[in-house]
Amino acid sequence: MNKKNFDSDFCGSLPLHQINMIQSYGYLLVLEREDLKIIQASENANEILGLAVQQLVRTSFRDYITKEEADNLYFKFQTDIIEKVPLPLTIKTEGYTGRFVAIAHVKNGYLILEIEKAGEENSFLNVFQELKYVMAEINRSESASQASSVVVHQLKKLSGFDRILMYKFDEDWNGTVIAEVKEDDMDAYLGLKFPASDVPRQARNLYLKNPYRLIPSRDYTPVKLYPVINPVSQAFIDLSDCNLRAVAGVHLEYMKNMKISASMSIRVIRNDKLWGLISCHHRSPKYLSYEVCSVFELLSSVISNKIASIENKEFFQYTSALQEKKSRLIGNTYSYLNLSEGLLNQDINVADLFNAKGAVLTFKGTTSRIGDVPDEEDLKNLIYWLQSKGDEEVYSSRNLPGEYEQAASYQEKVSGILSIPIDAEKGEYLIVFRPEVITTVTWGGNPEEAVRFEADRQKYHPRNSFSAWQEIVSQTSLPWTEQELEVAESLRSFIFEFTTKHLKN
Ligand code: BLA
């Protein structure tokens, strides 16, 4: 099936870094680092600083906070800290004193302050005891799905969101809901798969820098900066790292279609790559203070570490087992000084190595085969096709009939192929085959309708139904894993060395 890929073709190119407005639950100031002079301010800043933005700009932020706070702010950012740093602030204007948190970071040479009301005073011990408990629960888990289930349940108790789910990405960046806890009268998403474009590439990339994204209410009025264009750089300031950044319109519509008003998503990272998101939903607006968001952030790293340690251990065990099998095959080949004896005819063979059902070796005018492989004529044509592709490297596909139509006539036996060229020009190959595995994928709404364009082909909307939509996937084998492809590559090097050193004639 040739799916539309809105992730790379469309949604993935929306310029999120050029959104120049903020959500209204906080205030944003752009300061010069040297003298803390206000260069730009969000139009709502008058609510806390007492002056209209037109008058605010060019004043010094020092005038509104205590001397200690101003010095702290100044000194913290003399070095090139790129991490966001939270700073407590007491803002004093005429007749008004308020406690705030400023989340500060440097962008384009400027100091960007995102200011939110400080949350309720909560003793460190209170928060810590809750956290310790959840952390202990997470750490006891033995699988990623168990850890996910623990974390969604615990977060629901801690935060009171209506629905919390763990959303895990696959190799094509589609995501499946692997754990969910929700209020009874809400739709269930557990087990459903969502297409990559729902959280497109650039939105996913932002989680590599920012641990979470909070949208307290989709019904907010975006707030502009004053002046809109930064007067020094004459450009939009890049707000992509800001928590307050206004939300892409298409995603607000998506939330509406999901019947939610507020959302919070927290990253799960494994080996520096986004593994999944914990997505929290609320049917009415829900604001979380910076302090509560920080608890989520901390739990995000606890769960990330746990999942990484579980999966890295599984990865290691699996890789060692593969290596061990490969070594046995190589040992056998050396003992018999013969490729087909060593790789196809002993107690272990290449089909076992690659969890395949058939294998073929075409070498020096002889074809050796084991298990389920294409018939002679079909095999000959398949090898011509492989030759015509001119690959010198390992080639693999889990959907051979999708790439080479003739294979459709034997798709049951052969839907997956992994071919290792020995001498492609002479038609010499080692090939393993996997059979078709027919699966049913249940999507959250038809993925072909992930984007609905209006008649003008300009305006578009996200899909408006997330109810289960079944796709039967045929002509497809189990996927070839990264480790299997690496082993195939090292087997190719071995065969090259073996044939050149030991089988000279
Ligand atoms: C953002 N989409 C997101 C986010 C999530 C999802 C979690 C991060 C923001 C947030 O936490 O709300 C998607 N949420 C899901 C999914 C589930 C869920 C799949 O709970 C599963 C149950 N979205 C579209 C289309 C486009 C698109 C068609 O459907 C593009 C054309 C874009 N999604 C999009 C963009 C963002 C986004 C641009 C970033 C929004 C922002 O941060 O401003």
Count up the domains in the chain and report the number: 3
**What is the residue with the minimal CA distance to atom 23 of ligand 1?**
198
pTM of the model: 0.90
Per-residue pLDDT of 350-373, as tens digits, reads 999 999 999 999 999 999 999 999
As a whole number of angstroms, the distance between CA 304 and CA 207 comes to 13
Which residues lie across from 368 on neighbouring strands? Answer: 361
Answer yes or no: is pLDDT of 4 > 70: no
**What is the residue with the minimal CA distance to atom 4 of ligand 1?**
199
Q: Which residue has the tokens 């690959």?
A: 391
Same domain membership, residue 487 and residue 343: yes
Band of pLDDT at residue 2, cut at 50, 70 and 90: very low
Q: Which of 242, 253, 254, 465 to mutate to test the pocket of ligand 1 (most atoms within 8 A of CB)?
A: 254
Which residues lie across from 469 on neighbouring strands? Answer: 443
Same domain membership, residue 377 and residue 268: no
**What is the residue with the minimal CA distance to atom 11 of ligand 1?**
265
C-alpha pair distances (Å), 365 with each of 254, 371, 423, 427: 60, 20, 12, 9
Question: ipTM greater than 0.90, yes or no?
Answer: yes
**What is the residue with the minimal CA distance to atom 33 of ligand 1?**
199
- φ/ψ of 421, rounded to 5, equals -70, 135
Q: Which residue has the tokens 């307290």?
A: 216
CATH code for the domain in which residue 23 is found: 3.30.450.20
Same domain membership, residue 219 and residue 91: no
**What is the residue with the minimal CA distance to atom 2 of ligand 1?**
199
Rounded mean pLDDT, 285-310: 93
Q: Which residue has the tokens 């930064």?
A: 230
- 157 alpha carbon – ligand 1 mean position (Å): 24
- 255 alpha carbon – ligand 1 mean position (Å): 8
In a domain, 351, yes or no: yes
Report yes or no: 462 and 207 within 8 Å, Cβ to Cβ.
Answer: no
Band of pLDDT at residue 219, cut at 50, 70 and 90: very high
- 287 alpha carbon – ligand 1 mean position (Å): 19
In a domain, 366, yes or no: yes
Residues 6+ apart with CB under 8 A from 495: 339, 420, 422, 430
Query: Which of 12-26, 111-125, 329-343 holds the top average pLDDT?
Result: 329-343
Same domain membership, residue 155 and residue 111: no
**What is the residue with the minimal CA distance to atom 35 of ligand 1?**
251
Q: Which of 168, 194, 199, 465 to mutate to test the pocket of ligand 1 (most atoms within 8 A of CB)?
A: 199
Answer yes or no: is pLDDT of 127 > 60: yes
Same domain membership, residue 97 and residue 152: no
Closest-lying ligand 1 atom to the alpha carbon of residue 19? 43
Same domain membership, residue 98 and residue 42: yes
Residue at a domain's end among 51, 83, 117: 117
Rounded mean pLDDT, 437-452: 93
Same domain membership, residue 419 and residue 389: yes
**What is the residue with the minimal CA distance to atom 6 of ligand 1?**
199
Closest-lying ligand 1 atom to the alpha carbon of residue 466? 22
Answer yes or no: is pLDDT of 1 > 50: no
Using alpha carbons, select from 291, 279, 285, 265 the residue that is nearest to residue 206: 265
**What is the residue with the minimal CA distance to atom 5 of ligand 1?**
199
The total number of residues written for the chain in this structure:
505
CATH code for the domain in which residue 303 is found: 3.30.450.40
In a domain, 144, yes or no: yes
Answer yes or no: is pLDDT of 181 > 90: yes
In a domain, 404, yes or no: yes
Kindly calculate the radius of gyration of the chain based on its CA atoms and give it in whole angstroms. Answer: 29
C-alpha pair distances (Å), 475 with each of 24, 401, 405, 437: 50, 6, 11, 7
Using alpha carbons, select from 296, 266, 202 the residue that is nearest to residue 240: 202
Q: Which protein residues touch ligand 1 with a CB less than 6 Å away?
A: 6, 10-11, 14, 165, 167, 175, 177, 189, 194, 197-200, 203, 213, 215, 247-248, 250-251, 254, 263, 265, 277, 279, 450-451, 462
Q: Which residue has the tokens 């095999």?
A: 379
Same domain membership, residue 427 and residue 281: no
Q: Which long-range contacts (CB under 8 A, 24 or more apart) does 181-189 make?
A: 181/152, 181/153, 181/156, 182/281, 186/162, 186/281, 186/283, 187/259, 187/466, 187/467, 189/165, 189/444, 189/466
Q: Which of 10, 251, 460 to mutate to test the pocket of ligand 1 (most atoms within 8 A of CB)?
A: 251
Band of pLDDT at residue 125, cut at 50, 70 and 90: confident
Same domain membership, residue 125 and residue 108: no
Per-residue pLDDT of 152-180, as tens digits, reads 999 999 899 999 999 999 989 999 999 99
Closest-lying ligand 1 atom to the alpha carbon of residue 277? 7
**Mean of per-residue pLDDT scores for the chain:** 93
In a domain, 235, yes or no: no
Same domain membership, residue 131 and residue 244: yes
Same domain membership, residue 400 and residue 480: yes
Intra-chain end-to-end CA distance of the chain, in Å: 46
As a whole number of angstroms, the distance between CA 263 and CA 285 comes to 9
**Residue 34 DSSP SS3:** coil
Report yes or no: 473 and 441 within 8 Å, Cβ to Cβ.
Answer: yes
As a whole number of angstroms, the distance between CA 58 and CA 37 comes to 6
Same domain membership, residue 164 and residue 61: no
**Residue 455 DSSP SS3:** coil
As a whole number of angstroms, the distance between CA 329 and CA 344 comes to 9
Residue 426: which region, alpha, beta or left (left: phi > 0; alpha: psi -120 to 50)? alpha
Band of pLDDT at residue 8, cut at 50, 70 and 90: low
Answer yes or no: is pLDDT of 505 > 60: no
Q: What is the pLDDT of residue 12?
A: 74
In a domain, 466, yes or no: no
Answer yes or no: is pLDDT of 261 > 60: yes
As a whole number of angstroms, the distance between CA 380 and CA 362 comes to 10
In a domain, 463, yes or no: no
As a whole number of angstroms, the distance between CA 218 and CA 253 comes to 9
